[in-house]
């Protein structure tokens, strides 16, 4: 809740007129508690999990219209009821775990210093903080993910997420309840180390989930703007990790590829891509796809 009754009081406090964005923020948040503003994350996450995947569901249903050439594993297809079942499982986890966790974690937000007041952060401040958040989350998630592919971690926890060997958009948050809790730690570390404004925190949570949906889409679109992000993994990169499954010791990174490269855990993927290029050049792949899709020709590659 802002400590001002009027816009004029806020302008006097800051020694300048409010920007258009700050005026909108004042009108919306002035009488709302910080806890209420923080709980917006529950609504945002629900909308993201429910709405963002819908275009990809349409694409999966309309592969005959030409979208099939962008499918990374074109021989795999899920029906609408199968995708809806995944969505229901995700929503069950949302209601039982994610939502309650958001409701009770507010004190930690106050402790680390996420602010809701004025002035609002500049665009460059937001971009800089989001970049730091992505880097911290990616590095810590990498090591947790590697742990979850150990014998105990995979058998007890992570195997649930790998039930989809050809990932779909709704399966991004599909996981064991303990994995949902554990992987919340990397997402929280960035804001804890470099606390910012609540708006930046909202954007961080939203963008991280949208990125996860994109990398689990099962499609590699040549027009995706994420192709221009340096060291970004993307759908093709993470799809290989799901394809290999429990045996996977490759492509652990959640967003970028530098950790896998530094620690040598992308060798299987690079070998796989090298084999595919040779097969494609030699025209030995039966029915090879064009465009953005990649055909997984044999099970033997899973051992790499």
Q: Helices then strands (H, E): number in the chain?
A: 16, 0
CA distances from 278 to 284, 291, 302 (A): 9, 17, 17
- Position 285 scores a pLDDT of 45
Contact 63, 166 (CB under 8 A): no
What is the token pair recorded at 101? 């966790």
> Which residues on neighbouring strands pair with residue 115, listed in sequence order?
197
Beta-carbon neighbour count of residue 86 at 10 Å? 20
Q: What are the per-10-residue average pLDDT scores of the chain (304 residues)?
A: 86 92 94 94 95 94 85 91 96 95 92 94 97 97 95 94 94 96 94 96 96 95 90 94 85 94 93 85 52 46 44
DSSP code for 228: G
Full-model pTM:
0.89
Q: Is the dihedral of CA 242, 248, 252, 257 positive or negative?
A: negative
With tokens 């649930």, the residue in question is 160
Tell me if 276 sits within 8 A of 295, measured CB to CB.
yes
What local confidence, expressed as pLDDT, does residue 3 receive? 84
Beta bridge pairs of residue 298:
none
Q: Are 148 and 154 contacting, i.e. CB atoms less than 8 angstroms apart?
A: yes
What is the spatial distance between Cα 14 and Cα 152, in angstroms, rounded to a whole number? 55
Gyration radius from the chain CA atoms: 22
Domain ranges (residues) in the chain: 1-28, 32-283
What are the CA-CA distances from residue 171 to residues 49, 50, 84, 196, 240 (Å)? 10, 12, 10, 30, 15
Q: Answer for the pair 118, 14: CB distance below 8 angstroms, yes or no.
A: yes
Q: What does the pLDDT read at residue 220?
A: 93
Token look-up 């998630």 returns 141
CA distance 236 to 220: 6
pLDDT value at residue 281:
78
Show the beta-strand stretches assigned E in the chain: none
Say what the pLDDT of residue 283 is. Answer: 53
Tokens (6 digits) for 46 = 């629900």
Is the CB of residue 272 less than 8 Å from the CB of residue 300? Answer: no
């Amino acid at each position: 809740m802002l400590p001002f009754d009027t816009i004029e009081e806020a302008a006097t406090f800051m020694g300048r007129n409010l920007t258009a964005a700050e005026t909108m923020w004042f009108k919306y948040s002035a009488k709302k508690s910080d806890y209420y503003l923080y709980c917006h994350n529950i609504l945002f996450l629900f909308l993201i999990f429910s709405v963002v995947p819908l275009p990809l569901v349409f694409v999966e249903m309309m592969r005959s219209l030409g979208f099939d050439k962008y499918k990374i594993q074109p021989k795999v297809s899920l029906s609408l009821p199968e995708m809806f079942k995944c969505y229901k499982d995700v929503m069950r986890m949302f209601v039982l775990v994610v939502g309650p966790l958001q409701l009770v974690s507010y004190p930690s937000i106050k402790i680390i210093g996420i602010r809701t007041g004025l002035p609002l952060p500049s665009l460059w401040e937001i971009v800089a903080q989001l970049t730091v958040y992505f880097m911290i989350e990616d590095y810590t998630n990498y090591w947790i993910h590697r742990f979850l592919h150990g014998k105990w971690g995979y058998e007890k926890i992570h195997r649930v997420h790998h039930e989809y060997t050809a990932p779909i958009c709704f399966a991004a948050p599909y996981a064991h309840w303990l994995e949902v809790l554990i992987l919340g730690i990397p997402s929280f570390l960035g804001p804890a180390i470099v606390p910012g404004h609540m708006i930046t925190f909202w954007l961080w949570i939203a963008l991280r989930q949208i990125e996860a949906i994109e990398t689990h889409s099962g499609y590699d679109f040549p027009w995706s703007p994420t192709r221009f992000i340096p060291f970004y993994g993307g759908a093709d990169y993470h799809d290989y990790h799901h394809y290999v499954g429990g045996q996977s010791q490759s492509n652990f990174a959640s967003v970028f590829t530098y950790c896998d490269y530094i620690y040598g855990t992308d060798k299987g993927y690079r070998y796989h891509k090298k084999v595919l290029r040779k097969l494609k050049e030699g025209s030995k792949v039966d029915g090879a796809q064009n465009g953005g899709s990649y055909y997984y020709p044999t099970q033997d590659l899973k051992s790499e």
